[in-house]
Amino acid sequence: MASAINGTNIVLYAKRSNAKYYFNASVNNATIASNIYYQLGEEENTGASANLSKAYDNTFFGFITNISYPSQTNIPAGTWTFVNYLDITYNLAYSPNFYYKVFKYNGTTLTLLATSSTFAFTANEKTKYTSTMSMPAVALNQTDRIAIQIWTTNVDARDVTLYTQGINDSSVTTTLDYYTPFGASTNCSFETNVDQVEVTSQTSAYFREFKNDIITWSVNCDGFITLSNNYNYAYLLQLVLDKTPITIKFAIDNDNGAGSDTLGNTVLTGLVNLTSLSLSAPVEGTSSYSVSLQGTGGYSIDGIAVQTQGISIGTQIVKMLDYTATGGETTITFTDAIGFTCFSVSRGGVEVQTILTTGTPTGDNVKFDTTSGILTFGTALSANEFVRALFK
């Protein structure tokens, strides 16, 4: 059992709405009732296109979220928006259509939650279709996954192809909430204070007495680096201008990132105001920013007993790994990141825009192979160039 928790295992998360999931057909995510379900991922696979084809109406394209996702206890009612690239061969006779079914999956049983109306094919070529469906409010278990089936009607023997990944931005925008890593920092603190009211009286025997009164709490972080397109510098500055409060989760991994899940997580959740934000760009150093967050109202504590398995907060362990180049390297091996997903890389303080999982990177792009832990760069690293990568 660890006696101290590493700072890299304390991560701040911000609550967002309308989680977006991507149809990634290159990843086989599950087999249910002899049917293959591909990945419905939190991140788009920007590698090569991955396409699926079928004929007749008695089969479907199946996709399912990763294990531990969405890690929510409910689906809010509202509209889900699907964006898919589809193609049907030959002609449009007999009005061929497609539609969606959404399920929750508990590891054993698929439970139907909603079925969309039908949408007509409009061309005999790859076409982008934007479709919507109404989702009712649904209760979930924390471990339930979301599965989506894409069905067709009146297709007969014609081939239908679904295009995903690469240039095919196939996705679904849901009503689910999610928690985005707000930032990883060199220093991060959670502070709470209780005001004291003096109640000294004649019976205090010459000692001052106090009672607890108003509680205040705050979060301060230094050395922040951007982890998400949703939480870049401009977005944070806009939150300050708009005076918009946000919900955060301050998560402590009591296992020190070992992945043993024997001690679990302690998670503090509450609403905060951004009270200050400062940006720093040192010469030849990593760009950073500092933020102060003032809690408003109370905060809740989950997993405080550090029970076995802890709790899931909608993401997995975040690893922050650094490397200083000797010069000329085009690859770095991060053995601690094997089995993880790379979602942020910075070179000399500049964020890399595209992280591939397949193919060969060029220019400023990189590729990460989760099976080997190898991070490959499109251009060679310079001497003393600082690289920071984030994995989950």
Instruction: Choose the weakest-confidence range: 23-27, 189-193, 238-242.
Output: 238-242
CB atoms within 10 A of CB 209: 13
- Please report the pLDDT score of residue 386 as a whole number: 85
Closest CA to 226 of 261, 191, 196, 181: 181
Domains of the chain and CATH, by start: 7-14+182-302 (2.30.110), 18-176 (2.60.120.260), 319-391 (no CATH)
The neighbouring-strand residues paired with 131 are: 82
- Tens of pLDDT, residue by residue over 283-292, are 666 666 778 8
User: Two tokens at 173?
Assistant: 């925008």
Report the relative pairing of strands 288-302 and 265-280 from DSSP bridges.
Answer: antiparallel
CA separation for the pair 97, 378 (Å, rounded): 43
Which is higher by pLDDT, 241 or 309?
241
CA 94: distance to chain centroid?
42
Confidence (pLDDT) at 387: 87
Segment (H or E) for 52: strand 50-55
**Is pLDDT of 309 > 60?**
no
What type of residue is 47?
Answer: G
At 332, which helix (H) or strand (E)?
A: strand 331-333
- Taking 60 as the threshold, does the pLDDT of residue 295 lie above it? yes
Per-residue pLDDT of 181-197, as tens digits, reads 655 455 678 899 999 99
Q: How confident is the model at residue 351 (pLDDT cuts 50, 70, 90)?
A: confident
Cα gap 282→17, rounded to integer Å: 34
Give DSSP secondary structure letters for 148-212.
EEEEEES-TT-EEEEEEBTTB--EEE-S--EEEEEEB-SEEEEEEEEEEEE---GGGTTS--EEE
| DSSP 8-state class, residue 384 | T
How many CA atoms are closer than 13 Å to the CA of 142, on its beta-carbon side?
A: 7
Close Cβ partners of 233 (under 8 Å, ≥ 6 residues apart): 226, 279, 289
- The band of 264, judged by pLDDT with boundaries at 50, 70 and 90, is low
For residue 311, pLDDT beyond 50: no
Which residues make Cβ contacts (< 8 Å) with residue 244, sequence separation at least 6?
Answer: none
Percent of the chain with pLDDT over 70: 82
**Of 392, 383, 224, 388, which is closest to residue 322 (Cα–Cα)?**
388
Alpha helices (runs of H) in the chain, residue ranges in sequence order: 233-242
Mean pLDDT, the chain, whole residue set: 83
Query: Which long-range contacts does 135-138 make (Cβ < 8 Å, 24+ apart)?
Result: 135/75, 135/77, 135/78, 135/79, 135/80, 135/102, 135/174, 135/175, 136/77, 137/74, 137/75, 137/76, 137/77, 138/74, 138/75, 138/104, 138/113
Residue 237: band (very low, low, confident or very high) from pLDDT cuts 50, 70, 90: confident
- Is the pLDDT confidence value at 254 over 80? no
pLDDT tens-digit map of 76-133: 999 999 999 999 999 999 999 999 999 999 999 999 999 999 999 999 999 999 999 9
Contacts of 104 (CB under 8 A, 6+ apart): 110, 111, 113, 138, 140, 144, 145, 146, 147
